Amino acid sequence: MYPFLNTNLSWDARVEDLVSRLSLYEIVEQTSAAVSLPPPSIARLGIKPYWWDTECLRGYTNRNATAFPDSLGLAASFRYGGVSL
């Protein structure tokens, strides 16, 4: 078993181990995938395709999931001095 799969290790140790095993090409592929496509799998490390393009800054939605308010929409719901912003 690769050390990055060992949940008894610290997060930092696991990340360091995983990144040390990735080629520059694999790092680029994992961080620059198109929004409509997941990054490719890395079969030699047992990493399957996954969706990483979600973050709560713009609001989080996914198939059959709850939608959380985004920061701009949340800020627009507050009133300042009796006047809606």
Per-residue pLDDT of 37-72, as tens digits, reads: 778 899 999 998 877 655 555 555 556 665 655 566
Average pLDDT taken over every residue of the chain: 76
Same-domain pairing of 30 and 10: yes
Same-domain pairing of 41 and 1: yes
The amino acid sitting at 33 is A
pLDDT at residue 34 greater than cutoff 80: no
Same-domain pairing of 48 and 75: no
Q: By residue range, what is the domain housing residue 45? A: 1-52
Q: What is the pLDDT of residue 18?
A: 96
What is the DSSP secondary-structure string of 39-85?
PPPBGGGTBPP------TTS-B--TT-PPBPPHHHHHHT-EETTEE-
Q: Would you place residue 32 in the very low, low, confident or very high pLDDT band (cuts 50, 70, 90)? A: confident
Which tokens go with 14? 């696991």
Same-domain pairing of 38 and 59: no
